[in-house]
Structures are given as structure tokens and as C-alpha cells.
Amino acid sequence: MSRTIIYPGTFDPITFGHMDIVKRATRLFDNVILAVAGDSSKNSLFCYDERIALCREVLSDIDGIEVVGFRGLLANFAQEKNACAFLRGLRAVSDFEFEFQLANMNRRLAPEIESLFLTPAEQYSFISSSLVKEVASLGGDITEFVHPIVAVALKDKFPS
């Protein structure tokens, strides 16, 4: 039986931290679905289509990963896809509280789907999309944190 795990998020934009988590997951699961949230409460810099397109481009070399957008409840989407687990990344203790709440809420909504957590390589543990956007907006070098395609997209958003 093939096993599918869903990695949901805003991915505004996707970073090397997200990509590290994806690579680890593809070694453990037959299918990894990176699910880009369309109904995020966050005010995103990149629109829904841009976020999906960037994820597809930077992950195109990795086997076993599919990028899809979703709107509405993640739990419903995961059930439609027959996923056995939700994947989230944990960078530091500060991520834990929110992720714990989310995992419990998702368990209420879809009791048959487990939440699994992976940690990134140490050099990615301080990267967040919001910090990358802030550095880019102030003209800083973000090439260490994101794929070159994303770096170009960020440069277009913040021309100097």
C-alpha cells in the first residue's frame, strides 16, 4: 500500500528550510504532497499562484513530491487525498506550542490522520519565510536561504 503524507503551509516563499524537510520526507514516504494554502490568515507577499509556481519550480528535480494548492479545510483536503499523515517542520521550541495546538485540532477534525514532525539540518533551523522577506526588503543578500529562482522573484518584489 502506498503511503501519502501532506506537507501544508503558506510557503511565502519556499525556503531551503522547507526544501530540506521535503527531501527528508521523500525518503520516508511514497508520495509527499506539498500543499500550498490558499486561505491563509497571513497577508502574503506572493499570491497563491506565485507561491505554487515557485514551489513547483524549485522542487522539480525531486522525485516523489507533488505540489498542489488547496482552499478550505486542510483536514478535508487530506482525507480526499487519502493521506495517512500531516507533516510539519520544527525549528525550535518556539514552534512547538502552535504546532501542538494545530496537531490536536487536526486530530479532532481527522482522527485517522497522524501529525508527524521533522527537523531541518542545523544550518536551516533559523530560516523563516518572514525573516527572508524582511532581509530582502531591506536589500540584504538572501542567496544562502532560498533557491536562486526564489531569490530572483524576491528581487522583483523589492527592486532597489
Catalytic residues: 18, 42, 91, 129
At residue 139, what are phi and psi to the nearest 5 degrees?
Answer: 85, 10
Cα(117)–Cα(138) distance, integer angstroms: 32
Question: Rounded to the nearest whole angstrom, what is the least distance from the CB of residue 74 to ligand ADP in the complex?
Answer: 9
Cβ nearer to ligand ADP, comparing 31 with 128: 128
Q: Which residues bind ligand ADP (CB under 6 A)?
A: 9-11, 15, 17-18, 21, 40, 42, 88-89, 91, 95, 120, 124, 127-129
Cβ nearer to ligand ADP, comparing 84 with 116: 116
Question: Rounded to the nearest whole angstrom, what is the least distance from the CB of residue 144 to ligand ADP in the complex?
Answer: 12
Say if residues 14 and 56 touch (Cβ distance below 8 Å).
Answer: no
Nine-digit cell at 120?
531541518
How far, in Å, are 31, 82, 86, 101, 125 from residue 110 at the CA level? 19, 11, 10, 14, 29
Question: Rounded to the nearest whole angstrom, what is the least distance from the CB of residue 70 to ligand ADP in the complex?
Answer: 12
Cβ nearer to ligand ADP, comparing 88 with 147: 88
